[in-house]
């Protein structure tokens, strides 16, 4: 029998201590490379053991870090705030102080638009990888239509109620600029979003949501607000061109919506309710419905000032279109509201998707106001007031929760990752 011999290995040599006055090794000298948390050259993240760096010494990328996950859906609060001002200015009756409050709300929407445009510019400058990822994400790319609608909503509000504070000339110039930019962006989004959906995105029928309607409804907003500019143009070709251009945008958005809306309804009927977080998007269907009724009324109002031979049938045609569409909008509002209540009872938390409760409902308010103006029926006046009360409740809730989320930085945080599953337990067998 051979007895095994155990050899004792000598301990590894001790690493000599670095003198206290010797310089610390740089990340480049480390064989493992620089740490992953390195933000910029010669900068380190402040920890409990280091002195905090002055904000003036931080790199632009580090200062813009809070905007990395700020997507195009942040234009939704601008839209929702602007529609509160515009719809409030058109309510029946002449209550004292209403226009002043609406003008203040419009000013808030203008400030919000400037802030979001600046934040989105920082996002594109310092986080282009994330911006490109948004374009290639079928759940985020349609929100680029919100940029168009935010520009248009603030511009239209300037001419409707903002002129009380800034004057007609400034309001007209502001509306002209924002209307032109918003229309170009809206038509571009209506083309690019479906193109990316066909070429780059892959959306299964069971994952279709009303978010797909966002880039398609943007031209309808132009069709609804463009007629406000018609009386300020020179008579003749200029007025007619804008009027018929808005009418073309009306058809573009309406027919495109009729192609996509059946997919949304089919998904609901075959796959059941939407996920809890996406349920507020059901209110987006109200956008093309309410906005088209508003556009029909505004086009009928602008036609006599643009056409060489005005026809008296314009308001009648607008009413014949708007009344049935408003009826379907009320049906969808009841259905979407019931599903939203169901989702809330099952734990639907707040997110930026809650702003879908505002702008689409506001378009129904302006549509009902147009019907009240053209028919003279008190019923439509009551409907407009009731819908506006719902809009105010939704806007107040979304605004308060958004401010709270901004203060806590929760809304600016990135998407939460699911916790990694623990490794499977294994046992050694003989």
- Asked if residue 390 belongs to a domain, the reply is yes
- Asked if residue 169 belongs to a domain, the reply is yes
Structure confidence by residue, pLDDT tens digits, 8-30: 445 555 544 444 444 444 444 44
The count of domains in the chain is 1
Q: Which pLDDT value is given to residue 416?
A: 59
Cβ–Cβ < 8 Å for 157, 171: no
Burial class (CB in 10 A: 0-12, 13-18, 19+), 62: middle
Q: What whole-number percentage of the chain has pLDDT above 90? A: 67
Structure confidence by residue, pLDDT tens digits, 342-377: 999 999 999 999 999 999 999 999 999 999 999 999
Mean pLDDT in residue range 320-333? 98
- Whole-number average pLDDT of the chain: 85
Mean pLDDT in residue range 199-221? 91
- Asked if residue 34 belongs to a domain, the reply is no
CATH number for the domain that contains residue 363: 1.50.10.150
Indicate the pTM of the whole model.
0.82
- Asked if residue 25 belongs to a domain, the reply is no
- Asked if residue 43 belongs to a domain, the reply is no
pLDDT band at 281 (very low <50, low <70, confident <90, very high): very high
DSSP state letter for 367: H
pLDDT band at 414 (very low <50, low <70, confident <90, very high): low
Structure token digits, residue 354: 């809650």
Please, what is the angle between helix 128-135 and helix 98-126, to 10°?
110
- Asked if residue 12 belongs to a domain, the reply is no
Helices (H), 127-158: 128-135, 145-157
Structure confidence by residue, pLDDT tens digits, 92-129: 988 889 999 999 999 999 999 999 999 999 988 888 88
Q: Which pLDDT value is given to residue 203?
A: 82
Mean pLDDT in residue range 284-304? 97
- Domain interval for residue 370: 63-405
**302 pLDDT exceeds 90?**
yes
Q: Which pLDDT value is given to residue 229?
A: 98
Structure confidence by residue, pLDDT tens digits, 153-183: 999 999 999 999 999 999 999 999 999 999 9
Mean pLDDT in residue range 70-89? 96
pLDDT band at 426 (very low <50, low <70, confident <90, very high): very low
- Max distance between CA atoms of the chain, in angstroms, equals 120
Cβ–Cβ < 8 Å for 358, 391: yes
Please report the sign of the dihedral spanned by the C-alpha atoms of residue 393, residue 76, residue 142, residue 327.
positive
**430 pLDDT exceeds 90?**
no
- Asked if residue 221 belongs to a domain, the reply is yes
Q: How many helices (H) and strands (E) does the chain have?
A: 13, 0
- Asked if residue 383 belongs to a domain, the reply is yes
Q: Which pLDDT value is given to residue 83?
A: 98
Burial class (CB in 10 A: 0-12, 13-18, 19+), 292: buried
């Amino acid at each position: 029998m051979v007895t095994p011999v155990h050899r004792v290995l000598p301990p590894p040599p001790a690493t000599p201590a670095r003198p206290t006055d010797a310089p610390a090794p740089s990340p480049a000298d480390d064989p493992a490379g620089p740490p992953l948390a390195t933000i910029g050259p010669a900068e380190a993240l402040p920890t409990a053991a280091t002195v905090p760096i002055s904000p003036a010494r931080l790199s632009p990328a580090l200062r813009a870090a809070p905007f990395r996950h700020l997507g195009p859906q942040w234009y939704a609060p601008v839209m929702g705030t602007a529609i509160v001002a515009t719809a409030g200015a058109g309510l029946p009756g002449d209550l004292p102080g209403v226009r002043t409050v609406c003008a203040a709300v419009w000013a808030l929407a203008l400030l919000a638009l400037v802030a979001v445009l600046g934040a989105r510019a920082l996002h594109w400058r310092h986080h282009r990888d994330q911006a490109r990822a948004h374009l290639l994400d079928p759940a985020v790319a349609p929100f680029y239509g919100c940029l168009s609608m935010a520009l248009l909503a603030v511009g239209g509000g300037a001419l409707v109620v903002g002129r009380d504070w800034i004057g007609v000339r400034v309001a007209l110039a502001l509306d002209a600029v924002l209307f032109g930019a918003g229309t170009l962006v809206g038509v571009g989004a209506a083309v690019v979003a479906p193109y990316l959906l066909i070429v780059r995105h892959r959306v299964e029928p069971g994952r279709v949501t009303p978010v797909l309607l966002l880039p398609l409804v943007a031209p309808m907003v132009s069709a609804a607000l463009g007629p406000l500019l018609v009386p300020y143009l020179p008579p003749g070709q200029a007025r007619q061109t804008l009027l018929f251009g808005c009418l073309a945008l009306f058809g573009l958005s309406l027919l495109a919506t009729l192609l996509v809306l059946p997919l949304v309804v089919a998904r609901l009927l075959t796959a059941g309710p939407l996920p809890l977080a996406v349920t507020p998007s059901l209110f987006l269907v109200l956008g093309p419905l309410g906005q088209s009724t508003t556009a029909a009324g505004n086009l009928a109002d602008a036609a006599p000032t643009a056409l060489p031979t005005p026809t008296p049938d314009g308001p009648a045609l607008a009413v014949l279109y708007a009344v049935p569409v408003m009826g379907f909008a009320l049906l969808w509002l009841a259905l979407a509201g019931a599903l939203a209540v169901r989702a809330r009872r099952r734990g639907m938390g707040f997110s930026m998707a809650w702003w879908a409760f505002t702008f689409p409902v506001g378009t129904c308010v302006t549509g009902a106001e147009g019907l009240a103006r053209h028919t003279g029926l008190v019923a439509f006046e009551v409907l407009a007031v009731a819908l506006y009360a719902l809009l105010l409740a939704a806007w107040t809730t979304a605004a308060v929760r958004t401010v709270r989320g901004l203060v806590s930085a929760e809304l600016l945080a990135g998407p939460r990752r699911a916790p990694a599953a623990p490794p499977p337990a294994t046992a050694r067998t003989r």
